[in-house]
A and B are shown apart, each in its own frame.
Chain A
């Protein structure tokens, strides 16, 4: 079998690159390790309140369903990459789908391996994994998408107060992640907005270090959050979460900039805004392709003329919007590379 381009990873970035290349008649094969396409972004719920909050979740759903209803490029799910030989422009890759093995000749490879959410249990002071009512923003997102409602994991009841902890696994020297994940501020605020719209009785607190802007309409969106009486934006990251054995509520220790001093406050539910880290499995990809990592631990751009490209969030934290734009720009680079060779 021969193809022009192999895309590794069927998340939104890989799908976008595939779509763009297929549109201009470049034969493309996309492989995905999981059984379904969509990657991390496919588990996100719509975060609209009165109006759209630009979370881009629907764009992912649309793309995935378009591909399901017949795409113009080949897709192999449940497939892994096991080997690479050859030289720039004339690679041979070995693929494994279940027990089946195949070899493929290709000219260019796009790696869109994606990211994983940070493992929140590594921040032991927040008690993720030990306290039922401490969840990650991704858990909350999946809860809203799959169960369609918000509830406390301990008793299934609607929480009265929810605290969002920002920068869990980002901008944190103690765990070695010295970078900003760039998406979590807007992501958590959108989640808060969506929750507040559905359950106006819930009071939310957003505990942050610095609010990072995200795109053209973010300023307006942030103002609407500031004007909402049910949302408190507190510039302070909590130091510890305590669990009381008598109730399921959680006690949070933090410096209150308004009161001025250390306070302990009760919350019914705690949501950790976990940052992004490169997928663990990406190490084997890096070895296979001879990819380097940048200081942040994401893939550094491979040297030009190797015919290997890196697209999407595995090259540095990106939201859906920026992943799509980045993938399109990579598609452009791939076309330029292929054109230069022919």
Chain B
């Protein structure tokens, strides 16, 4: 039988003596109570010192604190650095002050409630058990999937801290989408040279192994023990065992192909970026003709991404200032939510770039082979002054729709990550602080999560690097077994739990010898596996415990017995 030691915290007198006496009298004399001591303020260093003495004496093996919120005690234990000689899971706290004394209108009800709480807490305490703390060694090895701007930045930062990085890129060379970029809106450097330097740097770094034309085909294992199979172009397989994984596969863009998009006078933002960068003649030509009027039509796609707005304004300034063009930008909203963008937008307006903010998209039609753009001038105050403006531009520039990479979905499945509702990796979840994923040890950054402006993406890349460094620099991951565990003898391998686990912490493995199944007629016991919860990957949420049809899963820090105790269903 367990012997419970009770610490009664008077909380500096806020639990009155009469009240304490009445509730404690109900349990006095119960055989499982080893001792009951009162403390003026249990959260004070002196009381904690006395408590430590008591624990050392070994009179009891479970401990119950009667007082206020568990948070107070957790905080004070932590704050005064008390490394008690007993396992923290042997403590139970009954919050008499908030849940009884303050919750009830009159004293009688409060005493009644407090006694009930106390009985439940005693059952709770006696059914608690110690939970082991463990540590998992972490090798300084990371896998970065996707060799674009983000992947390169992360790899470089990790390598500086002695972490060996394998950078896997599906294309022939590193760089990714950043190659479409020619210059930055907020920096004087040339984007091409900047990117080239970064690639050269990464290639020179001894701690980084680059695998181009390679893809991740298979992944199993969990934090610290991932096993990844990478397949190269010549079917060459590489097996890796990284401690952490960063996914930075970027995004794809779709060019419209039907109707007006086929017209020779229509181009896209990345194409004109290339065209503009090459010219130093003072004018540009398109289809053999000098370009004098350019119309941008934005926001028909990518409405909630500010990249197109920034690039269009950046390009329009070059067209207007150096190439003698008249530019009009039609958009729903001018997106200037980036540092320095409002100034750039102002400058564009001052230089004569026209902005049309439309509610209905502008109409594009062809007149004698030339494109005509009809857009309403919504800047007028009076409705009757809202003229339809018709422009006959030499060039119409449209955005390319930013979409997830086609292989994102299969990658998601391979990695056991969540797919967001737009098809990008991960949904926005503030608790994951943007760059963490639903799986411990896997991080997501850059355009594969959401397309962003370059400088913001780079900040995100460095944040991911920091996360990985913080995780791996300690050399070990400390955790305790307050997680779910499957009883292999009871598991029917129904695959309910691996499907439901939000953190992909459950796999079916052949680790259980006992778990056999004899198909009728064979007469032989076939060996089956059983579901296994990885204690490092488990967050202890308890979803699998509730859903398991065979009741084969236990949550160590909240067993069924403890839940029944809290519900008052135990004798």
Contacts and interface: CB of A to CB of B under 8 A. Distances in A.
A179 B456 CA distance: 17
Contacts of B334: 210
Interface in A258-310: 259-262, 294-296
Interface stretch (A2-10, A135-143, A214-222): A214-222
B160 A222 contact: no
A210 B357 contact: yes
B340 A295 contact: yes
B109 interface: no
A261 B383 CA distance: 7
A215 B430 contact: no
Contacts of A69: 71, 74-75, 78-79
A15 to B, nearest CB: 13
Is the interface on chain B under 10, 10 to 19, 20 to 34, or 35 or more residues? 35 or more
Contacts of B296: none
B177 interface: no
B420 A213 contact: no
A222 B304 contact: yes
Contact of B463 (A24, A332, A339): A332
Contacts of A331: 466
Contacts, number: 150
A212 B306 contact: yes
A304 B75 CA distance: 39
A212 B336 contact: yes
Contacts of B383: 259-261
Contacts of B424: 216
A68 interface: yes
B384 A296 contact: no
A71 to B, nearest CB: 9
A220 B339 CA distance: 24
Is the interface on chain A under 10, 10 to 19, 20 to 34, or 35 or more residues? 35 or more
A159 B400 CA distance: 44
A79 interface: no
Contact of B384 (A59, A182, A260): A260
B469 A56 contact: no
A171 B75 contact: no
B79 A70 contact: yes
Contacts of A296: 339-340, 343
A249 interface: no
A213 B79 contact: no
A235 interface: yes
B61 interface: no
A58 interface: yes
Contacts of A211: 333
B357 A213 contact: no
A329 B75 contact: no
Interface of A: 20, 23-25, 52, 54-56, 58-59, 68-70, 171, 178-180, 182, 185, 210-220, 222, 235, 255, 257, 259-262, 294-296, 316-317, 321-322, 324-326, 328-329, 331-333, 335-336, 339
Query: What 6 A-B pairs are tightest by C-beta distance, nearest first?
Result: A260-B383, A219-B304, A329-B462, A212-B337, A328-B463, A216-B450
